Amino acid sequence: MVTRTVTKPPKDPYAVLGIARTDDEAAIKRAYFRLVREYPPEREPEKFQELRAAYERIRSAEARSQTDLFLLQPPPAMPRRRKLAYDLDVHADDILMLALELGLARLSVQEDFHEPELPTR
């Protein structure tokens, strides 16, 4: 049996609770209770369910370690990279090479091609 059902990654519970991935358990708890006061179950049952589900997924370290495995991971920031220094000097070895090539440019290699004299019988 081959299926091609698709599943979207589950909602990010950190985003639902409006906290950072790095926040500790106390911060998670604070955020949850603040939101629950804002969206009490009797007035906002759906929102409350969403908050509750998100909280349950990350409320303990163990739950969090499992949940994090199946969440999209934000890419890290660009690390500080040292830029390489340029060499913008004029170098004598380049000038020597230039002078050499100027000298060579005036030579004709063909002139050095000679037919060797061969002995007659």
- Would you say 46 or 89 has its CB closer to other proteins? 89
CA distance 79 to 69: 24
Q: Is 99 in the site for other proteins (CB under 8 A)?
A: yes
Q: Restricting to residues 48-77, which ones interact with other proteins according to CB under 8 A?
A: 62, 65-66, 69-76
Give, to the nearest 10 degrees, the angle between helix 25-38 and helix 45-58. Answer: 170
CA distance 29 to 69: 21
Amino acid at 98: L
Q: Restricting to residues 2-41, which ones interact with other proteins according to CB under 8 A?
A: 2-9
Q: Is 119 in the site for other proteins (CB under 8 A)?
A: yes
- Supply the minimum distance, in Å, between the C-beta of residue 27 and other proteins: 19
